[in-house]
Amino acid sequence: MKLLSRANLYYIFFSVITYVIISGSFYLVVERMIYSEVEERLKVERKDFEQFIVTHGMWDESCYFVENKISLKSVADSLTAFAAFKDTLMFNRYSQQLVPFRELSFYSKIGTNLYKVSIRKSLIESNKLLKFITITMLLSLSVGLLLLFLFLRRTSKKLWQPFYETLSKAKLFEVNDGKALDLQKVDIFEFNELNTELEKMTDKISRDYRNLKEFTENASHEIQTPLALINSRVESLIQEKDFKK
């Protein structure tokens, strides 16, 4: 695998992990913020409900809290006070579907009777807002990661171009040419160091090759003279009559 391909693979792997972590964290944070806002509204509605009871001494579903889905359930006096939030589903007669609500339950005394009061607010709009924000963030993050990937890929190719030029010239190097590599100076320190060392190495190889070639040629020339004399002497011995004896 090529270096750039491996680097791109690492980038994609890291980006996917980062993408998942950021997306999940963002979704949870925004969801928590929306829930906090809804719960604050429910707390305000609770105060309004309690104030209404104090003022009128009774509760009428037809007045004031029409949109807030308030329900009362009679409970025993022995129960201790509590307040709790939870998610619930309620059937919508218009859409014929179950609709998500956030519910605040608490005990409230109306006259001499104790009731469990449940105030609910629809989460439809909040969920729509959460989905819209999340999708927008995911699209923006995806585009950002894609643009960053393309930028890094293009930048990496440009940065590594001197290396590939050096590699191409190194592949064409032939020791029998007797010439060292002639590499250009570049703006990157590491590549300049590499080019300098390659020039020194190929220059030494070329000089050693030339010296070895000259030595071999001289040795061959020097050996030819005694070999010629030996060959001449051998031929003379062969031509003598008593050679076979």
Q: pLDDT tens for residues 47-64? A: 888 888 888 777 776 655
Quick one: tokens of 154? Answer: 């293009």
What would the pLDDT profile of 86-117 be if each residue is shown by its tens digit?
888 887 777 777 888 888 988 888 877 888 88
- The string of DSSP letters for 71-111 reads EEEEE-TTSPP-EEEEEEEEEETTTTEEEEEEEEEEEEEET
In this prediction, residue 77 has a pLDDT band, given cuts at 50, 70 and 90, of: low
Long-range contacts of 3-6 (CB under 8 A, 24+ apart): 3/160, 4/153, 4/156, 4/157, 4/160
Confidence of residue 81 (pLDDT cuts 50, 70, 90): low
pLDDT confidence of residue 78: 59
| Total length of the chain | 245
State the pLDDT at residue 158. 84
Instruction: Quote the pLDDT of residue 62.
Output: 60
Rounded to an integer, what distance in angstroms lies between the CA atom of residue 112 and that of residue 14?
64
* pLDDT bucket at 241, cuts 50 / 70 / 90: low
Largest CA distance in the chain: 155
Who has greater pLDDT, 225 or 74? 74
How does the average pLDDT of the chain come out, rounded?
A: 81
Does position 46 have pLDDT exceeding 50, yes or no? yes
Q: What is the pLDDT of residue 80?
A: 65
pLDDT confidence band for 243 (50 / 70 / 90): low
Task: Assign 208 a pLDDT band (cuts: 50, 70, 90).
Answer: confident
